[in-house]
Chains A and B, each alone.
Chain A
Amino acid sequence: MPRTARTASTGIGIAVVLALGLTACGSSGGDNVAADKKQTLTVWAMGAEGEKLADVAKVYEKANPNITIKVTPVGWDVAHQKLVSAAAAGSMPDVAQMGGSYMGEFSELGVLEPVDTKIFQEKDFFPAGWQQGEVDGQAYGVPWYVDTRVLYYRTDLAKQAGITKAPTDWKEMRDLATAYQKKADTKWGLSIQPSGLDTVQNFYSFLYSAGGEIVNDKGEAVIDSPEAVKALKEYGSYFDKGLSNKSVQPGYDVVKDFGNGRVPMFFGGPWHVTLLNEGQPQLTGKWAVANVPSDKASVSMAGGSSLVISKDSEHKAAATEFIKYLTDTKGQADWYKRTKDLPANTAAWTSGDLADDADLQIFKKQMDTAKSSPSLSNWTEITDKVDQAIAKVTQGKASAEDALKTAQSQIEGLVK
């Protein structure tokens, strides 16, 4: 047990040492090698993408024999720390996959090369996808794939509860949740997180649909707006009424409970389609996806990943070519086939599966209006204050108004 705390302080220490010792030698931009010269590109990608990307890289190498691509898969759990250490040590890979939430931090660290907007154009991508790669109006990442949350619900249990259509607004969703519990004998009505890190991700569907925001376009904190209060009240009511579980531990896997019928509804991303098809095959035909039930509108959160080029890279030209290959219409459709990650390039949606599959159209429709979080370097800290407000409400410690007022004053101090 004492080891862990020591690791933490050692970690902080190492960061400094690395920073002090190594930035000096790593920072000078260096010469850029032309794209058609023989060279090796280093690429970091996270989780499942890291593994699948190696296959794509092989295909690319065949077409471009002068390029060797070294893909390093990085686990999501260590990705952030590894990238920060690499940034500190001046040893960033030529190309890296980055989540939208990292973008603010790493642009502040000054390790990202601005995107050449003559080559990659905003109009080709979903707006929310593009915005994720943007910091203060400057694009640093090319959208690679996008994701958004939609409502997954059990159609068989809904039928049992006497409801045959997907809920479209808050009231219908609440009614469905109640009916599930009362008539279809499910343990819970809807799975949303009561507290803990990143609870805010569940809350976004409510907040954005009510027309609220945490920080607005002008960079002002607006989490105590009437819209936000309304959203949090609605969110909290699921816990008051016993429709949602007040005790969800870190590492909870909703897929299993969706499969056994304890949880008939949850907000999930596109990857849940694969997880359900592969992990709960008995459910085939017994569930569906629907757009986030609306208040003022149906607006979900946007997530996904962008591809960035390191400022120090000596292979920027080749890196740009590779990213072009990954994000053009053909590359994006191919990537979808391999990973089921949703293409960020809207043109890729017009052919094959992507155009025909009704479930996918739900995602596309949601993506058109989805909102991405502002790229602020201290976004984690800002959302942590919202998480705390949500926790207070779901645990019955404070009213939505009071909890958000506190969060508002804390966030005001953070956005300056």
Chain B
Amino acid sequence: MSTTTGKAAESAKVQAGPGTAKSPAAGPKGSRMRGKPRLGVQNMAGWLFSTPFLVLFLVFMAVPIIATLVMSFTDFGLRNVTHPLDANFIGFENYTKLFSDEKFLKSLFNTAYFVVIGVPLTIFLGLLVAVLLNNGIDRARTFFRVGFYAPVVTTIVAVAVVWRFVLDPSDGLVAGLFSEVGLTAPDFLGSETLAMPSMIAMAVWRNVGTVMVLFIAGLQAIPTEVREAARLDGAGVWQEFKGITVPLLRPTMLYATVITTIGYLNVFEEPFVMTQGGPSDSTLTVSLNMYREGFNFFHMGYASAMAYVLFVVIMGITVLQLRLLKDNTK
């Protein structure tokens, strides 16, 4: 095998680390340093080297996160951009308002729809492609790998141009295929029922590459001896896959599922560039809704509350996933 794959396997181990090692989710025990930290010159150097990161983290992450939390309990609006101290604390009003806001509930539903269909599809296709690339194709493997990974690193604007062409109901690629067999293509992005599946298709296409890379790494981390032993025992391809590949890939699967779910719960770009949430809010996701409330209408307090609801949802689902999927590994 070439050196690149060797490196990939190595970095794969690093990537798969959180899952394979005793897992940070179970608690940081395994990774914590032994012994008490001592203040001293060495430690000063450590702090010194981490200062750039810490400053950036504080300014661009910690402070905004806290500010957003504070803001979510106020009626912060346009006026308060120049007079922030005039904003009033209104307790949980933003939060209670959210749950009677039809638009928000719809965006929550849309996001759930996106995740429930999108995540399994992405994981399944990512695994499929990874297994095929790992076993099936010997030649042109790199070519295919790059091909599947290319969408991940392509900017969404370029992607949008391509997908608009693919989905255009009058002279797009899909419309062409439909007319080949004498059918009229549906208006994918203009129809309330089809717009969301179209977004999902786009997102899956864009994200299969990421998941594929994770799985390839995971697959290559499986020791060949185990496979050989299984084969000697007379295991067929399917048995080998079921008995060895799948169980040993569990940690990777867990990691891939968690990051894909988090990504999809935050989905913003696809509807933003393709439909702006339309038609009739059928592709309005929580993130897009939040963006519009915040930056189009300047309901900053309300948008912040939305951000925190989304945050709690994401955290809840992630914890749940870690619990469920991890228990299965035992």
Chain A residues contacting B66 (CB-CB under 8 Å) are 13
Q: Which of B125-133, B218-226, B231-239, B290-298 contacts A (4 or more CB under 8 A)?
A: B290-298
Chain B residues contacting A20 (CB-CB under 8 Å) are 67, 84-85
Which of A16, A90, A380, A388 is the one whose CB lies under 8 Å from B297?
A380
Nearest CB to that of A15 among chain B residues?
B81
Q: Which of A203-211, A224-232, A242-250, A279-287 contacts B (4 or more CB under 8 A)?
A: A242-250
Q: Which of B21-29, B32-40, B56-64, B319-327 contacts A (4 or more CB under 8 A)?
A: B56-64
Nearest CB to that of A252 among chain B residues?
B164
- B276 near A2 (CB under 8 angstroms)? no
Q: Which of A81-89, A144-152, A300-308 contacts B (4 or more CB under 8 A)?
A: A81-89
Decide yes or no whether A110 CB sits under 8 A from chain B. yes
- B287 near A5 (CB under 8 angstroms)? yes
- A250 near B273 (CB under 8 angstroms)? yes
Which of A13, A23, A378, A380 is the one whose CB lies under 8 Å from B65?
A13
Decide yes or no whether A196 CB sits under 8 A from chain B. yes
| Chain B residues near A (Cβ < 8 Å) | 60-61, 63-68, 70-71, 76, 78-85, 160, 164, 169-170, 187, 189-192, 203, 207, 262-264, 266-269, 272-276, 278-281, 287, 290-291, 294-298, 300, 303-304, 307, 310
Distance in Å: Cβ of A3 to nearest Cβ of chain B: 8
- A4 near B269 (CB under 8 angstroms)? yes
Would A194 and B81 be within 8 Å (CB), given that A1-B267, A247-B169, A391-B279 are in contact?
no
Given A9-B290, A23-B84, A381-B296; 17 other pairs, CB 8 A cutoff: A1-B266, A4-B268, A5-B290, A8-B303, A17-B64, A19-B84, A20-B84, A23-B83, A84-B81, A108-B78, A109-B78, A110-B83, A195-B278, A248-B190, A380-B296, A391-B278, A397-B280
Distance of A105 Cα from B266 Cα, bound (Å)? 29
Q: Restricting to A227-277, which residues have a CB under 8 Å from any CB of B? A: 246-251
Nearest CB to that of B69 among chain A residues?
A13
- A249 near B84 (CB under 8 angstroms)? no
Q: Restricting to A324-367, which residues have a CB under 8 Å from any CB of B? A: none
Give the one of A2, A110, A247, A248 with max B CB within 10 A.
A247
Which of B68, B78, B170 is the one whose CB lies under 8 Å from A9?
B68
| Chain A residues near B (Cβ < 8 Å) | 1-2, 4-6, 8-17, 19-20, 23, 81, 84, 87-88, 90, 105, 108-111, 187, 194-197, 246-251, 377-378, 380-381, 384, 388, 391-392, 395, 397
Distance of A17 Cα from B100 Cα, bound (Å)? 30
Which of A8, A11, A87, A388 is the one whose CB lies under 8 Å from B287?
A8
Chain B residues contacting A9 (CB-CB under 8 Å) are 64-65, 68, 290, 304, 307
Distance of A197 Cα from B70 Cα, bound (Å)? 30
Distance in Å: Cβ of B202 to nearest Cβ of chain A: 11
- A384 near B296 (CB under 8 angstroms)? yes
Which of A8, A11, A12 is the one whose CB lies under 8 Å from B268?
A8
Distance of A184 Cα from B71 Cα, bound (Å)? 58
Distance of A384 Cα from B281 Cα, bound (Å)? 12
- B63 near A2 (CB under 8 angstroms)? no
- B82 near A196 (CB under 8 angstroms)? no
Chain B residues contacting A377 (CB-CB under 8 Å) are 78-79
- B266 near A194 (CB under 8 angstroms)? no
Chosen A-B contacts, 22 in total, with CB atoms closer than 8 Å, are: A1-B203, A1-B207, A1-B263, A1-B267, A1-B269, A5-B266, A8-B307, A9-B68, A10-B60, A12-B294, A87-B81, A105-B78, A105-B298, A110-B82, A195-B278, A247-B189, A249-B164, A249-B189, A251-B160, A378-B298, A388-B280, A388-B281
Distance in Å: Cβ of A299 to nearest Cβ of chain B: 27
Distance in Å: Cβ of B212 to nearest Cβ of chain A: 16
Distance in Å: Cβ of B112 to nearest Cβ of chain A: 16
Distance in Å: Cβ of B259 to nearest Cβ of chain A: 8
Distance in Å: Cβ of B218 to nearest Cβ of chain A: 21
Distance of A405 Cα from B190 Cα, bound (Å)? 24
Chain B residues contacting A16 (CB-CB under 8 Å) are 64, 67-68, 70-71, 76, 84, 300
- B68 near A5 (CB under 8 angstroms)? no
Nearest CB to that of B190 among chain A residues?
A247
Give the one of B84, B189, B303 with max A CB within 10 A.
B84
- A187 near B279 (CB under 8 angstroms)? no
Distance of A396 Cα from B175 Cα, bound (Å)? 23
Distance in Å: Cβ of A236 to nearest Cβ of chain B: 14
Chain B residues contacting A108 (CB-CB under 8 Å) are 78-79
Distance in Å: Cβ of A385 to nearest Cβ of chain B: 11
Give the one of B274, B278, B310 with max A CB within 10 A.
B278
- B297 near A249 (CB under 8 angstroms)? no
Would A395 and B83 be within 8 Å (CB), given that A108-B78, A251-B160 are in contact?
no
Distance of A109 Cα from B78 Cα, bound (Å)? 7
Distance in Å: Cβ of A17 to nearest Cβ of chain B: 6
Query: What are the nearest 8 A-B pairs in CB distance?
Result: A13-B64, A247-B190, A5-B266, A19-B84, A1-B263, A4-B268, A16-B67, A13-B67
Would A250 and B78 be within 8 Å (CB), given that A2-B263, A5-B268, A9-B307 are in contact?
no
Distance in Å: Cβ of A260 to nearest Cβ of chain B: 11
Distance of A249 Cα from B187 Cα, bound (Å)? 11
- A5 near B80 (CB under 8 angstroms)? no
Chain B residues contacting A11 (CB-CB under 8 Å) are 294-295
Which of A12, A19, A88 is the one whose CB lies under 8 Å from B64?
A12
Distance of A8 Cα from B296 Cα, bound (Å)? 12
Distance of A9 Cα from B85 Cα, bound (Å)? 20
Nearest CB to that of B161 among chain A residues?
A251
Would A111 and B296 be within 8 Å (CB), given that A1-B269, A12-B303, A247-B190 are in contact?
no
Chain A residues contacting B279 (CB-CB under 8 Å) are 194-195, 247, 391, 395
Distance in Å: Cβ of B276 to nearest Cβ of chain A: 5
- B82 near A87 (CB under 8 angstroms)? yes
- A187 near B80 (CB under 8 angstroms)? no
Distance in Å: Cβ of B158 to nearest Cβ of chain A: 12
Give the one of B70, B80, B203 with max A CB within 10 A.
B80
Which of A12, A23, A111 is the one whose CB lies under 8 Å from B300?
A12
- B273 near A12 (CB under 8 angstroms)? no
Distance in Å: Cβ of A91 to nearest Cβ of chain B: 12
- B310 near A10 (CB under 8 angstroms)? no
Which of A2, A109, A249, A388 is the one whose CB lies under 8 Å from B79?
A109
- B266 near A384 (CB under 8 angstroms)? no
Distance of A246 Cα from B169 Cα, bound (Å)? 10
Distance of A88 Cα from B274 Cα, bound (Å)? 31
- A19 near B82 (CB under 8 angstroms)? yes
- A88 near B280 (CB under 8 angstroms)? no
